[in-house]
Structure formats: structure tokens, C-alpha cells
Amino acid sequence: MKVLVATEKPFAAEAVNEIKKIVDEAGYEFVLLEKYENNSQLIEAVADADALIIRSDNATKEVIDSANNLKIIVRAGAGYDNIDLEAATAKGVVAMNTPGQNSNAVAELALGMMIYSARGFFNGKSGTELKGKTLGIHAYGNVGRLVAGLAKGFGMEVSAFDPFVSADKIEADGVKVITSVEDLYSKNQYISLNIPATPETKKSITADLLSKMPEGATLVNTARKEVIDEDSLVTLFEKRQDFKYVSDIAPDNAGMLLEKFPGRVYFTPKKMGAQTEEANINAGIAAARQIVSFIENGDTTFKVNK
């Protein structure tokens, strides 16, 4: 049984050791492909693998179809928009994620980015504090909930919009429930985006929606670039001199935005949300255990395809 860990953006070394330990203990073979530069390397490496652990790596139809022994793909993380689920199902491959395992790291980064924005990207001038400011959480899943808790610790007024989570659950955390997305944006100076990239959410964050945000607005994106209607950002920035956008996932027009609107946009050079030792270890261990449990007992908990 061959388990391939294919990570273009590597896990921390400790996480790799932990994954290897679990794979070794199960009596399987461990193979590591890190920092690869193109999908053809992944296609070659996966050809004889029985199980695959990935992060944001692209498990395309081509990758899946070229893996003749493949039984399971585990995305060590939350978002599985990088897996072609239809191709996996068609080939009888189980696809899973490891929900919650890297959420704290992402939530901490969201707060860090908020502080970075509030302090003018550390430009030496007087900025503002988070205390007393309003924060709207767009989607109250694992990350959204943790962002809310941290923000409350900073003394922020936190509200959330999530039609898939019961109002009781949100209110139990001391977070105000907002029932329309327009209200979420018009009532909050900060918005933390925590929605997945799905056909429904892609390009759903438009200039029209963002322009509802109050004076001194900051949009914090630790979710996916695809959910933003990037073309309309330019119009928004031109209209709203006060608007700031900080994102862990650089948009395709990042260079132009940085040049045209200095001091108002910031993008991490590489997605950093889940890049902590703890998150890597938690997600990596979960992924390896899920593979062993599936191979040995047919356990399909966390399966995300049909």
C-alpha cells in the first residue's frame, strides 16, 4: 500500500515525520513529493499510489485518471475545491478533507491581518485599534467561529451571517446574528471572509456589496480568491479612498492593485493561513489516520464526494 504525500507548499518537517510514523506503523510505503513545479511531476508520482495526501495541490481529472491504484485522496485541510470530485467519483476514489484541523492557524492570521490593516501596514503613522470596532464574520464555520472568539478577546463587536448555521449556535457564542448578507456588509467596518469556493460563492463578493461597508472599511480574505469579483475591485478602490483589502490569497491582478493603490492592499506572498507547525501536524496526522482507517476498516467519515 503506497501513500504519497504531494505538497507543492511543504508541511513543517515535524508534520511529515508524524505522517510517516503513522504510515510506517500501518505497514504501508511512504513517498514524499515536495515543492514540485508542475502537475506532470504529480501525475508521475501518483501513478502507482494507493492513497494521496495533498494540501492546495490540484487533484485534477488528469491526475486522478493517471493513478491506477488510487483509492483515497485526503486534502489535509478544509477547502476541497482543488479536487475534481466528479473525476474521483467516476474512478471510485474516495475524497476527504480534515475539517477543523488547521482552523486556528487561519483564524489567528485573520486577526493578524486586521491589526496590520488597522496600523496602516506598519507605516510608522498613527493607526487605529481593533477594540470597539465592528467585525462581521461571513460564514460561521470552524474558522469563522474561532475568528469571532479571538475578536471578542480584542473587545470588538462581532456579528455573523451564515444561513447554514442556526441562530442559537451563533448567539450562544455571544455573537450577533445578521440575517442578510447586505446587512452584514453595511453594518461592519471589518469583514472576515470565511466562505468556501463553490459555484454559488464564486465572484459573489462584488464592488456593489463591498461599497455598502462603512467609512474606514477593511475586507480580510483568508478564504479563497475565487469568491471575489476581482474585476470590480478596481472600480471600488477608485470610488472609495478609505477602503482596504488584505488577503492571504493574492488575486490575479495583484501587481496592478499594489501599484495603483499602495497602502490599501496587502497580499501574502504565498498562502500562509494554515502555515503553522501546529496546523500542519494536526491536519497531516488526521489525513494519515483517515487513510489507515479507510483502508483497514472502510471508514468513510469526512468523505466529501458521492
- Site residues (vs ligand 3PG, CB under 6 A): 9, 55-56, 77-79, 102, 271, 273-275
| Smallest distance, ligand 3PG to C-beta of residue 173, A | 22
| Smallest distance, ligand 3PG to C-beta of residue 15, A | 11
How many other C-beta atoms lie within 10 A of the C-beta of residue 306?
Answer: 8
Exposed (0-12), middle (13-18) or buried (19+): which is 122, by Cβ within 10 Å? exposed
Which CB sits closer to ligand 3PG, 79 or 144?
A: 79
Q: Between β-strands 176-177 and 157-161, what pairing exists: parallel, antiparallel or unpaired?
A: parallel
Which CB sits closer to ligand 3PG, 187 or 271?
A: 271
Which CB sits closer to ligand 3PG, 297 or 301?
A: 301
Which CB sits closer to ligand 3PG, 102 or 117?
A: 102
Task: Give the burial string for 77-99 (b: 16+ CB within 10 Å, else e).
Answer: bbbbbbbbbebbeeeebbbbbbb
Which CB sits closer to ligand 3PG, 78 or 110?
A: 78
Q: What are the φ/ψ torsions at residue 88 (nearest 5 degrees)? A: -65, -50
Which CB sits closer to ligand 3PG, 8 or 50?
A: 8
| Smallest distance, ligand 3PG to C-beta of residue 267, A | 15
Give me the residue whose beta carbon is nearest to ligand 3PG. Answer: 77
| Smallest distance, ligand 3PG to C-beta of residue 97, A | 7
| Smallest distance, ligand 3PG to C-beta of residue 225, A | 11
| Smallest distance, ligand 3PG to C-beta of residue 79, A | 3
Which CB sits closer to ligand 3PG, 12 or 254?
A: 12
| Smallest distance, ligand 3PG to C-beta of residue 139, A | 13
How many other C-beta atoms lie within 10 A of the C-beta of residue 124?
Answer: 8
